[in-house]
Amino acid sequence: MTRSFVHLHTHTEFSMLDGAARIPDAVAAAVNDGQPALGITDHGNMYGVLDFYKGCNQHGIKPIIGTEAYMALESREERPARRGRKLDDSGGDTDSGTKLYYHLTLLAENNAGYSNLLKLASRAFLEGYYYKPRMDWDLFAQHNEGLIATTGCLGSVVQQSLLKGDYQGALDRAARLQDIFGRDNLFVELQDHDIPAQKRCNPQLLEIAQTLKAPLLATNDCHYTHQHDAISHDALLCVQTGSQMSDPDRFKFHGDQHYLKSAREMRSLFSELPESCDNTLWIAERADVNIEFGNVYLPDFPLPPEFETDDDYLRHLAFEGAKKRWGNRLSDEIVDRLGYELRVISDMDFSAYFLITWDLIRHARDNNIRVGPGRGSAAGCAVAYCLQITDLDPIKYDLLFERFLNPGRKSMPDIDMDFDDRYRDEMIRYTA
C-alpha cells in the first residue's frame, strides 16, 4: 500500500482547450506504473466519462468518476462584471475583486454520487452558465449524496481566500464544504508544482485540515500525460486564449510538472505527508460506480393521481383516442389490435416513451405549432394513431405493427415527428 498511488485530479482532452491528456494515453500510463485506479475530473462537464470508464475497465484498473466543477462565490445567479482582459485559471477578476468562477473537485463514491454529478453538471449549464457552467452552495446541498469533495486547487474558493490573506474566510468555506458533504467526504487537497502560491497556501491548508480534522489528499492536477507534453499543452492554452507562445504575458502554467507522475514520484514529492498519498488509495477503495450499458432509461412521466402506472394511463388514452378515431362502438378487430399492441409496448417497457411523445404532440397542437402527420414505420401502430401521434389509419390500410415494434427485436421505437421550424426551440425547451 505504501508504494502505490492513485491520481484523482486528471484532465483529459474533454477539458476543452485545457486538458491535453488523451484518455487512452492516461489510462496506459497508470496501468504501466501499476496504479490500481485512475480518476477523471474534467472542467465542468462529464463528456469523457463513458470512454474513460470503458478504457479503465478494459485495462483492469478502477475508473473513478468525477469533475472539477466551476462554482460561483455564493450564488449561480450572480453575474459580476469582469475587470480587465487578463485571464487566469478562474477567468480573471471582477469589479468587486472576486473571481468570475472558482474550482471544486468532486468524485463519485457510488452510483448515487454519479447520478448527482450528472444532475450538477446539467443544472450548472442550464441555471448557472456565465462564462462557464457554474454550480453553487445551494446545488451542492441538494445533490451531495454519494459525493466526495476536496478543497481544490489554487483556483478554489478556499485557496483564493488564503491568497488574499483571509485565513478565517478560507477556514469558514472549508467548514461549509465539510458540513455539506460530511466529515469523511471532504478532503483537504494538496498540490506541489513548485509554484510560489502553493508554497504559501500548503502550510495553511495543513492547519485547516488539523482544525477540521479533515483528511489530506495529494493530487497533481494532471493536464497532460507525460512531462514532455508540457509544450503541447502550452500551445493548447494559446489556442484557448487567442495568444501567441512568444507573448511573455500570456496565460500559461508554471513549469512542466502537471503530468501523470509515477507513484514513486508522488510519494517522493509528499514524503513528509505519506497519509496524503495513502488517502488516494482509500478513496479508490471506497469508489464503486457501476455503469450499465445497453439498457434503456426513460424519464418518469408525471401521471394524473387516478392512475398508478404508465401502462394504465397509456391504455386509458389509447381507448379514449380510439373512440374519437372510430366511434364509441369499437369493433372486435380494433379492441384486439389495441390490446395486442399495448401488451407489447408494456412488455418492452416503452409505455413512458409513448406518453412523452403524446405529450409533445399535444403541447404543440395546444400552442398552435404545426405538426406533421407522422412518418415511417410508426404509421403501422394503432396506439400511435389513437394518441394522434400519426394520422394514418393502420387498420384501414392493413399496416404491420411489427415493422414498428417487434417483440423479437428489442430496440427503441422510432417515431419521426415534424414541427414547424419557427418553434423548434420552444419544443426543445418544453421537452427539457
The CATH number given to whatever domain includes residue 223 is 3.20.20.140
Does 139 share its domain with 237? yes
Task: Confirm whether 16 is domain-assigned.
Answer: no
- Between residues 241 and 283, which one has the greater pLDDT? 283
Find the mean pLDDT for residues 146-151: 99
Q: What is the mean pLDDT of residues 209-222?
A: 98
> Which of the listed residues 234, 253, 286 is the one where a domain comes to its end?
286
Give the pLDDT score at 161: 97
pLDDT at 316 over 90: yes
Comparison of pLDDT for 412 and 363, the residue scoring more: 363
CB-based burial, 380-401: b 16+ in 10 Å, e otherwise = bbbbbbbbbbbebebbeeebeb
Q: How many helices (H) and strands (E) does the chain have?
A: 15, 8
The CA distance from 119 to 276, in Å, is 29
What pLDDT is stored for residue 375 in this prediction?
86
Report yes or no on 79 lying in a domain.
Answer: yes
In a shared domain, residues 136 and 175: yes
Please determine, for residue 246, whether its predicted confidence score (pLDDT) is greater than 50: yes
192 in a structural domain: yes
191-208 pLDDT tens trace: 999 999 999 999 999 999
Query: For residue 296, what pLDDT is reported?
Result: 77
Q: Do 329 and 213 fall into the same domain?
A: no
Supply the pTM of this predicted model: 0.83
Q: What is the mean pLDDT of the chain?
A: 95
The verdict on 386 and 422 lying in the same domain is yes
Does residue 205 lie in a domain region? yes
pLDDT score recorded for residue 298:
84
**Domain limits at 43?**
23-286
If asked whether residues 343 and 223 sit together in one domain, one would say: no
**Alpha-carbon span 166 to 343, nearest angstrom:** 65
User: Is residue 330 located within the same domain as residue 236?
Assistant: no
Average pLDDT value for residue range 157-168: 97
Per-residue model confidence (pLDDT) at position 90? 66
- Per-residue pLDDT, 1: 47
In a domain, 3, yes or no: no
8 A C-beta contact, residue 45 and residue 133: yes
Per-residue pLDDT averaged across 207-236, rounded? Answer: 98
Distance CA 214, CA 359 (A): 49
**Shared domain check, 322 and 275:** no
Cell numbers given for 59: 485495462
pLDDT the model gives residue 85: 65
- Average pLDDT (335-341) is 97
The Cα-based distances of 66 to 52, 108, 109, 274 in angstroms read 11, 6, 9, 23
| Torsions phi, psi for 218 (to 5 deg) | -90, 130
- List, as one string, the DSSP characters of 137-171: HHHHHHT-TTEEEE--STTBHHHHHHHTT-HHHHH
Long-range own/partner contacts, residues 313-320 (CB < 8 A, 24 or more apart): 313/351, 313/355, 314/342, 314/345, 314/346, 314/351, 314/354, 314/355, 314/383, 315/342, 317/355, 317/358, 317/386, 317/387, 318/342, 318/383, 318/386, 318/387, 319/386, 320/386
Please name which of 272, 188, 265, 275 lies closest in space to residue 222, comparing C-alpha atoms. 265
Residue 250 and residue 234: Cα distance in Å, rounded? 10
> Does the pLDDT of residue 262 top 50, yes or no?
yes
| pLDDT per residue as tens digits for the range 406-432 | 888 878 888 988 999 999 999 999 998
> Do 316 and 269 belong together in one domain?
no
Report, as an integer, the average pLDDT of 272-284: 98
Q: Is the pLDDT of residue 387 over 90?
A: yes
- Residue 24 neighbours by CB under 8 Å, 6+ apart: 55
pLDDT at 337: 98
| For residues 135-163, average pLDDT | 98
H-run or E-run covering 41: strand 37-43
- Whether the CB-CB separation of 257 and 194 falls below 8 Å is answered with yes
387 located within any domain? yes
375 and 275 in one domain? Answer: no
**3-class secondary structure, 419:** strand
Q: What percent of the chain has pLDDT over 70?
A: 98
Q: Is the pLDDT of residue 401 over 80?
A: yes
Residues 260 and 345 placed together within one structural domain of the fold? no
pLDDT given at position 93: 80
Q: Measured between alpha carbons, how far is 245 from 230 in angstroms, rounded to an integer?
A: 13
Asked if residues 311 and 350 have their Cβ atoms less than 8 Å apart, the reply is no
% of the chain with per-residue pLDDT over 90: 87
Number of structural domains, the chain?
2
* Positive or negative torsion for Cα 182, 65, 207, 134: negative
Is it the case that residue 151 has pLDDT exceeding 90?
Answer: yes
pLDDT for res 2: 59
Does 209 share its domain with 62? yes
User: In angstroms, what is the C-alpha Rg of the chain?
Assistant: 27
Distance between CA 126 and CA 123 in Å, rounded? 5
> Is 208 among the domain residues?
yes
Same domain, 104 and 179: yes
